[in-house]
Structure 1
Amino acid sequence: MKNILIGNHKVIKHLSITGWAKINTCVLVAAALCSTVVSAASEEDSRESHFGVLHVYGTLTESACRLNMASADQSVNLGNTATADLKNVGDHSVLVPVPLYLHDCLRTSSSQYIENNNVAWSAHQPAVSFTFTGIGEPTNPQLARAEGVKGIGLRIKDAQRNNVILGQTGKPVLLSPGDDVILYYVTAERTRGELQAGSFSANINFRLNYE
């Protein structure tokens, strides 16, 4: 390679083939690096440009009482009852308690209801009632039918030992805020007709009503 001096500057007059090859190689390497950087930047921009939105919605409501799951599905064993204890219509076996546990009851006012001309109401206690349903006993529809025997039906009573009529909404009960328990009883009661011994069973459904 030869240089020509013009003033204080050197001007390249001639490059050898080897020199040109080195320059071309540098240019190609630089171009490749630039292409890689541009490609990486392009991919990064492409990834960052894919955005999305989650539309989340719901409703926050005030909950009333929550029925304990063990109370919602339970078995009640009335034990053994002798036919000698059920001689007359209306005779019944031992009352077996059935507790219904309620949780997370709100401190809220209850609706007014009238019992014996007295208005019952609370500004701080919620009230609930229960409705029991099932297949009625043919001779006394207030009782649930006992499958497998004759001459008896199943009676439900509330905490005060009052009769609960099958299919009718019971008397409202005031609850303590937080957790509470409502007590009912089940008993086998003598009905009209032949008394036939044996094992018996029945399914009695109930519904919790907020007053």
Structure 2
Amino acid sequence: MNQAAVRRLNNGWLSLLLAMGCSAATASTPPDQPYGTVGWLAVSGDLQEAACQLDMASSRQTIELPAVSLRDLQRPGDGSEPTAFSLRLNGCIRAAGSVLNSQNNTLAWSSQQPIATLTFAAPADMNVPELFQVQGAEGIALRLRDASGNTLRPGTAGAPLFMNPGDNTLMFTVAVERTAAPLLANSYRATLDFHLHYQ
């Protein structure tokens, strides 16, 4: 395994295509064989070099946040109680890793643990760029934090994550936070993509 290369975890895929066609040409069918159908089968896949496999249940999640009252969001920075969610990684292998920690500009490394960085990608709030924009309600945005309480900014890799051999569960929280924009009560939604990179 090339430890210097950045490995990106993607879900493997398998496509299966079966096409059947009827053969009407008698020249292609031996005289002693009955008429029938012919077909072909195309199979493709993706072999990837990754230290861990993302659990299928973690790859697509819907998180329902509890209702928040306007009276709890009177000033910018006021927020709701955080809601926890997790990403589960299976079958992590023992491997060396190193990565520059963009949070504090230091080098994180291990001789036995693979290291991952996680990036959540979605539009940032116009008033508070470290928060994720929502659609619907106004005057609020979403703050994501890792298990250490560090804010995960839109499009920016978080602090390095050291993986233990075997299975790992990464914990996060998401909460509503008041911005400087005027409040408008309504339902809201946001879609966040995440990218897990191994070093």
1:141, distance to aligned residue in structure 2 (A):
2.2
Equivalent residue in structure 1 for 2:136, among 148, 154, 175: 148
Deviations 1:105-139 (A, max 9, x none): 11001114357576432111111111111122121
What's the RMSD between the two structures over aligned residues?
2.1
Q: What is the one-letter code of the residue matched to 1:78?
A: L
Q: What is the one-letter code of the residue matched to 1:166?
A: P
Mapped to 2, the partners of 1:59 and 1:207 lie a distance apart of 18
* TM-score (normalizing by structure 2): 0.71
1:63, distance to aligned residue in structure 2 (A):
3.9
Identity across the alignment (%): 37
In structure 2, the residue matched to 1:28 is none
Q: Which has the larger radius of gyration?
A: 1
Deviations 1:59-109 (A, max 9, x none): 987542101111110011111111111111111111111100000111001
In structure 2, the residue matched to 1:157 is 145
Q: What is the one-letter code of the residue matched to 1:122?
A: S
In structure 1, the residue matched to 2:163 is 175
Q: Secondary structure in 2 aligned to 1:77?
A: coil
1:30-109 to 2 correspondence within 5 Å? 63-109=50-96
Mapped to 1, the partners of 2:67 and 2:54 lie a distance apart of 30
Tell me, which stretches of 5 or more residues in structure 1 are unaligned? Answer: 1-57
Equivalent residue in structure 2 for 1:123, among 98, 102, 111: 111
1:182, distance to aligned residue in structure 2 (A):
0.8
Mapped to 2, the partners of 1:112 and 1:74 lie a distance apart of 28
In structure 2, the residue matched to 1:36 is none
Report if the CA contact (8 A) 2:120-2:157 is conserved.
yes
Q: What is the one-letter code of the residue matched to 1:165?
A: R
Aligned residues: 154
Q: What is the one-letter code of the residue matched to 2:153?
A: I
Mapped to 1, the partners of 2:188 and 2:88 lie a distance apart of 26
Report if the CA contact (8 A) 2:97-2:113 is conserved.
yes
Mapped to 2, the partners of 1:66 and 1:78 lie a distance apart of 27
- Hey, which of these two has a bigger chunk of helix by percent? 1
- C-alpha change, 1:189 and 1:60, in structure 2 (3 Å) is closer
- Hey, which of these two has a bigger chunk of strand by percent? 2
Consecutive aligned runs of 4 or more in structure 1 exceeding 6 Å deviation: 58-61
Mapped to 1, the partners of 2:152 and 2:71 lie a distance apart of 25
- C-alpha change, 1:63 and 1:163, in structure 2 (3 Å) is closer
In structure 2, the residue matched to 1:21 is none
Equivalent residue in structure 2 for 1:207, among 156, 175, 195: 195
Q: Secondary structure in 1 aligned to 2:137?
A: coil
Mapped to 2, the partners of 1:161 and 1:72 lie a distance apart of 22
Q: What is the one-letter code of the residue matched to 2:87?
A: L
Mapped to 1, the partners of 2:47 and 2:141 lie a distance apart of 44
Tell me, which stretches of 5 or more residues in structure 2 are unaligned? Answer: 1-44
